[in-house]
Structure formats: structure tokens, C-alpha cells
A and B are shown apart, each in its own frame.
Chain A
Amino acid sequence: MISVGLRRVVVLAAVVVACVLPFVLSNFRLFQFTQVFIYAIALLGLNILTGFNGQISLGHGAFYALGAYTTAIMIDRWNIAYGWTIPVAGLLCLVIGFLFGIPALRLEGLYLALATFALALAIPQILKYFEHWTGGSQGIVLSKPRAPFGLKLNPDQWLYFVTLGVLLVLFILAANLLSRRTGRAIVAIRDNPIAAQAMGVNNALYKSLTFGVSAAYTGVAGALSAVAIAFVAPDTFNVFLSITFLVGIVIGGLASISGAVFGALFIQFVPNWAQDISKAAPWAIYGIFLITFMYAMPRGIAGSLRLVLGRLARLSGETRRVA
């Protein structure tokens, strides 16, 4: 295990670097990092469900879409400030995720994966069906928010900080949730549901709640993406998005909070690199990256880093003892 102190230093350093970036990088790069943060929130949501609780979802793109459209419709139709729409999107996804979690209780493992997959398949058509609200296939075009209070930040810098702030709050909340009683119960259900029940854990309630929280995280991410891209359209939220999320948490590291950030970096940047390497077969290159990562880091990026840092810590511990 890495000491708590070391972990704090690493996290603090990462936050400091993240706060300096907007003043060093171009607006385009900032936009890319804003997307990384958004993906990281979505991935953390999925990781709580799949990594920690052991329920596979192939349909989190649906909650991402729900969050995005909640925000887009509230801004576009009712002129509500985007800041208010983000918690609303989260709450709505919490409730719907919880409700979806109840029937999902009867479905284990791969069957749940299929049920959520159906959700992912259905969402673009559902969005087009409610054309009056969603603008149908035309989607909804939004305006980028400007920095308030006369802050001297351009829209990209401001959005970057908003997203970073939401990310930090949600990550701290998740860390607290998962390191306490509730978190232990969530993990116990994954490892051995019968034993968990024998210990007095209400499996049904915890699984549904986990589904709700997970959906809420992904919904908040979707809401932020609507603000950042300033456009929502049904074609954005296809099955591929849901699968990309699953790729992200596996590559980043299952059941790891920091893994969400690494996974987000992967799904944001690796497809672009793949394209730079070969225009003819970018997805083949992407596939090679994917296989290499899985082969070299079977526990994801976060898992491998933990291993390396742990060894370093042990080494320095030993030298200290010798000296």
C-alpha cells in the first residue's frame, strides 16, 4: 500500500498543475482537457457501478445523453442559467438510475449488460421521437457561457475551471463514499453477495442506490458536455459512446478512483494519436494500443501505477531501515 501522505502529495501536485494549465495551453488544448475532465466524471460514475459494485453496464451513454439533454432543454427552452441545470441533470439521472436499478436487480452479470445495452441502442431513437423537446435530429444549438463576475477568463478557460471544480467535488465525494461503511458494503456485494447479505447488508437497496449514484455522475458529465460542446444531437449518443466508457474504465483501472482520469486521458487522446499515425486504418492502430495496454497493464493504468509506487515506497522504506 502507498502511504496516505504520499497519495495526498501526488493528488495535490496534480491539482496545482491542473490549475496552471489554463494559463499555459492554447484554448484548443484547454477544450480537450475540459473533455478529459468530463469523461473522467462519467468514467468514475461507471466505475462505481462496474468496478466497485460488479454490475456491468453497456448503456451509460444513455445517462450521459439524459444529462446532456436535460441541460440543453433547460437552457434552450426555459432560459435557465447553465449552473442550475447541472445539479438538476444529476438529480434526474439519480432518480431514473435508481428506478432502472430496481428491475435490473433480477439481472445478473451478462444479462444486465444486455439490458443496459438495449438502453444504449434505444436512446438515439427516443431522442428523435420527442422532437418537440429535443429538436429531433437537428439537435439543439447552445451558446458558450462567458466568465461571470468580470473575471478575466475567456469562455474556454472559464469552462475548464468549472469542469475541474465539479470534478474535484465529485471525486472527493466518491472517495469519501467508497472508503466508508457504504463503500465496503458496495464492494462486499461485488465480492460475495451471499456473505454480504449474511453480514446484514441490504443487497437490493445498495445495488439500486449504486446504480442511481453511478447514473447521476454520468448525467452530470453529460450536462457538462452539452455546455462545453454547445451542441447536442442524437447521433452523438450512440452505442459506441457507451462502449468507449467501458473501455475507459478497464484501461484506467477497475475499482480505482484515479483510474477514471487515466481512462479519460486514454479515450480522449489515443484515437487522435492513432489517426496521426495512420490515416488509413486509425482503428486498427487504436486496437493495437488497446491490446498493448491490456497486455502490459492488466490491472489498468491506475493498478500498474499503484504497483510501481508501492514498490518504490517499500524500497525507500528498506533503505531507511538499513541506514
Chain B
Amino acid sequence: MTRRNIIALALSLGVGLALVARLAVAADMPGVTATEVKIGHTNPYSGNASAYGTIGKAIAAYFKKMNDEGGINGRKINFVTYDDGYSPPKTVEMVRRLIEQDEVAFLFNTLGTPTNSAIHKYMNQMKVPQLFVATGATKWGDPQNFPWTMGWQPTYQAEGHIYAQYVLKNVPNAKIGILYQNDDYGKDYVKGLKDGLGDAAKKLIVMEQTYETSDPTIDSQIVNLKNSGANVFYNVTIPKYAAQAIKKTAEIGWKPLHLLNNVSNSVGAVLKPAGLQNSKDIVSTFYLKDPTDPTWQNDAGYKDWLAFMKKYYPEGDLSDLGNVYGYTVAQGLVQVLKQCGNDLSRENVMKQAASIKGLSLPMLLPGVKVNTGPTDFYPIEQEQLAKFDGERWILFGEIYDASKK
């Protein structure tokens, strides 16, 4: 045998063996080896929704921490994250890349309502978990029709309910003006508010304005709302537009009761750019501990988070709630992986995700717990109201539980 032949033989044998080994693993648990579990993720790192990019970075940083500490059940997490620019066709392409080419075990915390809608059916056809999606739309908790998709945060509708109750109780002669993003997300919030107001909705809501994610500004909508005579401003916008809205209301001297959706109540990403003085007296809801709130200065959960940020994500903004969100949802996944034990098949991942009982995570507000079940695909359903005092959010009132009507 010539030297070249030997090399050729060795090579083909090696490739063949590698293929066999790969197939053997792929047969039962795609994306899982003895030392690694591969997890896919999409996030807008660019474009109009890029303020959410930090969530993906915080998650990646947390998994790095877990890996440095030896991984989970001896397996390290290989976190593959791609930019979809918040564009549904790009999400489809990137998700197909993740599942068919990178062969990830499952998707985790893919961000956005239209983007997740575009892959909803595909994921359920492929029977790959679409776990803890980063959107509060109501449709993600539908285990009967979409058993492979699960939400994470409180739904937008549930949050709308809370605001409705607050307004009914505290604002006599309320005239509500609404600004919302013209899509599922915006409409869910509006539906929640209207359901919560009940029969009074028609009378109390004096104007509804919308915007598109491609709009450069929402200034004219704000002016219209002011002119409608509204004394309550229900602000259902993503961070970029929320900051614009807060700035503009201050600029034109409009002083309504400002109800800001949870999506955009980050001090770092929204209130600071909008101006802290302009943000005074805004009301919003929380289920996470706000890192700018001194209440938590000596809280063990906050201290751990701070240490994590300094070590693993030092360039991250310490006042950005997105970093708390990413940290917490990553911990939620770690819990699922721990529960899975050695069986990381897609079926078992889904099964374990649907059997989380009373899990408290360090950066969830005290009293807020993660609960799921075979028919309950809404992990977090509790929230509390807070008011911004010009420097920080001050929590007030009871913990509201949307699962108990």
C-alpha cells in the first residue's frame, strides 16, 4: 500500500466513524452530546428593536458563568445566537439554520411577537421546543394546539387588566388616550385594558393612536392625544418609541397619568434617554427587581446579579432591566435542564418545562413565582405596580395574580 492510499483509507475511516458517532447521537437527542447541549436563539441585535439585544448578551454571559462552574449535569451549554433584525423572514431563515444546520437541541427565548409567529407552526411541525419565548402575547400558552411552544413573562393582556383596575379605582372622570404599536403585541395590551374596564371602556377611552415599527417618530400621535383632552395616557410602545413619547409629552406640557407598559420600563434603556425629570410620576408594572431601586441594595439576589454583571458582562448597562430579564430567564432554563437530568430529549425538555412548581428566582420580586403545568404554559403570572419618583421606581400595592381572576 502506498503512503497516499494509507492516508486516504485513514481519512475515510475517520470521517465514516465520525458520521456514525454523529448519527448515533442524532437518533435520540439532537444537539446533545455527553459534554454539551446546544441551544439556539434569535434576537434583534440590529434595527429598530435592537435595544433588546442586551437580553441575548446577558443570557450568553450567564451560560458562560454556568459553563465556568462546570455546566449542568456535566454538560456545558453551547449557546448559538443570531441576529434577525426583528424581521420575520430573517427569523425563519435563522431558525432553520439553527435547527437544520447547527442542529440545536431546542430554541430558547427567541424574541418578538411577529418573529415568533413566523416560526410557530414550523417549530411545532418539527417538534422542536420553542421555549420561554420573549414576548408577552397571549397565544404562546396554547398547549393543546401548540404543545412545543411556551411563553415566559406575564402576558400583555394580564398587564392591561392591572392598569384597568388601577384607573377604575384611583382616577375619577378618567379620559384615556392610548398609543399602541399596530400589531399583536399592541392589540393584546389594548384588549387587556378594555376587558379590565368592562362596560366603562367605551366611555372612558377617548382616543386610540397607533404607530408602525418603521416610523421614525411618534410626535404627531402624542400631540393628537393631548388635544383629545385625555388625562390618562396608556403608553404601549417598545423602548425607542417609549423614550420619544415621554420626551414629547414633557415638551408639549401634557401631564396625564402616564401608564407605561412593562416592555419599556427600563430606567437605563428608556427613562434615562427620555430624561429622568420627564419620567416623574409614570406608573408601570414589575415582576423583576429593578436594579436601580435602592430597596435591593443589600438583597442577596441583587448582589449576586451585580457580581455576575461585573465579571461576565462588564460592558452591560447596570440600570438596564433587560439584563435582569436575560439573567432570570436563563436561570429558568437552567432549572429546566437540571430537572431533565440525563434525558435531554426534546420530549423531556418540554415535559420538564411544563412541570415547574413554585420556583422563586433571585431577581423576581418577592412573592412572584414560576409555575407551569401540562395545561398551564404561562410561567410567570404575577406583577406589582410601581411609580417613578424621578430617580427610581417605587413599588406599591399588592402582588396581582392574573391566574386568579
Q: Tell me the smallest distance from the CB of A129 to a CB of chain B, in Å.
A: 9
Contact with B along A31-50 (1 / 0, CB 8 A): 11001000000000000000
> Quick check: is B114 within 8 A (CB to CB) of the other chain?
yes
Contact at A230–B83, with CB atoms within 8 Å?
Answer: no
Dominant SS among interface residues on chain A: helix
Q: Tell me the smallest distance from the CB of B163 to a CB of chain A, in Å.
A: 21
Give the size range of B's interface with the partner: 20 to 34
Given A26-B101, A125-B212, A235-B88, A141 contacting B121 (CB threshold 8 A): yes
CA of A101 to CA of B122, assembled, Å: 39
Cβ contacts under 8 Å, A128 to chain B = 182-183, 212
Identify which of residues 104-136 in chain A touch chain B, using a CB-to-CB cut-off of 8 Å.
121, 124-125, 128, 136
Interchain CB contact (< 8 A) of B96 among A31, A235, A239, A240: A31
CA of A80 to CA of B261, assembled, Å: 42
Interchain CB contact (< 8 A) of B214 among A26, A35, A137, A238: A238
> Quick check: is A292 within 8 A (CB to CB) of the other chain?
no
Given A230-B121, A279-B45, A35 contacting B183 (CB threshold 8 A): no
Given A125-B182, A138-B184, A235 contacting B46 (CB threshold 8 A): no
> Quick check: is B120 within 8 A (CB to CB) of the other chain?
yes
Number of chain A residues close to chain B: CB under 8 A: 33
Contact at B83–A279, with CB atoms within 8 Å?
Answer: yes
Q: Quick one: closest A residue to B100, CB to CB?
A: A28
Q: Quick one: closest B residue to A143, CB to CB?
A: B121
Contact at A31–B46, with CB atoms within 8 Å?
Answer: no
Given A26-B100, A35-B93, A141-B120, A235 contacting B87 (CB threshold 8 A): yes
Cβ contacts under 8 Å, B88 to chain A = 139, 229, 231, 233, 235-236
> Quick check: is B89 within 8 A (CB to CB) of the other chain?
yes
> Quick check: is A258 within 8 A (CB to CB) of the other chain?
no
Contact with A along B199-240 (1 / 0, CB 8 A): 000000000000011100000000000000000000000000
CA of A239 to CA of B122, assembled, Å: 27
> Quick check: is B117 within 8 A (CB to CB) of the other chain?
yes
Cβ contacts under 8 Å, B212 to chain A = 124-125, 128, 234
CA of A56 to CA of B93, assembled, Å: 29
Cβ contacts under 8 Å, B83 to chain A = 275, 279, 282
Find the residue from B93, B96, B114, B214 having the highest chain A CB count within 10 A: B214
Interchain CB contact (< 8 A) of A235 among B86, B97, B120, B121: B86
Contact at A137–B122, with CB atoms within 8 Å?
Answer: no
Contact at B87–A230, with CB atoms within 8 Å?
Answer: no
> Quick check: is A283 within 8 A (CB to CB) of the other chain?
yes
Cβ contacts under 8 Å, A121 to chain B = 214
> Quick check: is A225 within 8 A (CB to CB) of the other chain?
yes
Cβ contacts under 8 Å, A304 to chain B = none
Contact at A139–B89, with CB atoms within 8 Å?
Answer: no
Contact with B along A216-257 (1 / 0, CB 8 A): 000000000100011101111011100000000000000000
Contact at A233–B214, with CB atoms within 8 Å?
Answer: no
> Quick check: is B118 within 8 A (CB to CB) of the other chain?
yes
Interchain CB contact (< 8 A) of B92 among A27, A125, A229, A239: A229
Cβ contacts under 8 Å, B182 to chain A = 125, 128, 137
Q: Which residues of A pack against B, CB within 8 Å?
A: 26-29, 31-32, 35, 121, 124-125, 128, 136-139, 141, 143, 225, 229-231, 233-236, 238-240, 275, 279-280, 282-283
- 16 of the cross-chain contacts (CB-CB < 8 Å) are A28-B96, A28-B100, A31-B93, A31-B96, A138-B184, A230-B121, A230-B122, A234-B183, A235-B86, A236-B89, A238-B87, A238-B213, A275-B83, A279-B45, A279-B81, A282-B83
